[in-house]
């Protein structure tokens, strides 16, 4: 599971890209001990590759990011994280 993000980005090395493949690398879920209701704090690393094929070929990651969300359920947590990542880009395409 991943997504194709259609967005213009300039990498730290100065290379400009417009469209890349994103997948989740790691998800950490922690129950919030300070919340009165059941709430989970979620952090996830996600990687950007030049294309899906680059990921399948174990090519180097272009950029690694981290996203944080807070949720009341951990059902479908991967989908919840992908939905939050999608909000960061103007246009995305699901790659199931």
The two most distant CA atoms of the chain are separated, in Å, by 46
pTM over 0.75: yes
List beta partners, residue 30. Answer: 41
Q: Confidence class of residue 3 from pLDDT cuts 50, 70 and 90?
A: very high
List all residues 6 or more positions away from 39 whose beta carbon is below 8 Å from its beta carbon. Answer: 31, 32, 70, 71, 72
Report d(CA 88, CA 5) in Å as an integer: 9
Tens of pLDDT, residues 33-46:
888 899 999 999 99
Q: Do residues 42 and 27 touch, judged by C-beta distance below 8 A?
A: yes
Query: Mean pLDDT, to the nearest integer, of 17-29?
Result: 92
Q: Confidence class of residue 12 from pLDDT cuts 50, 70 and 90?
A: confident
Tens of pLDDT, residues 52-93:
999 999 999 998 999 999 999 999 999 999 999 999 998 999
Question: What integer pLDDT is reported at residue 10 of this predicted model?
Answer: 86
Number of C-beta neighbours around residue 2 at 10 A? 19
Q: Do residues 69 and 83 touch, judged by C-beta distance below 8 A?
A: no
């Amino acid at each position: 599971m991943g997504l194709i993000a259609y967005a213009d980005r300039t990498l730290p090395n100065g290379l400009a890209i417009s469209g890349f493949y994103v997948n989740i690398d790691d998800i950490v879920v922690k129950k919030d001990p300070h919340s009165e209701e059941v709430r989970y704090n979620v952090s996830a690393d996600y990687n950007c590759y030049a294309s899906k094929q680059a990921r399948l070929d174990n090519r180097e990651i272009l950029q690694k990011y981290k996203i944080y969300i807070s949720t009341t359920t951990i059902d479908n947590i991967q989908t919840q994280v992908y939905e939050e990542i999608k909000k960061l880009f103007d246009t995305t395409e699901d790659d199931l």
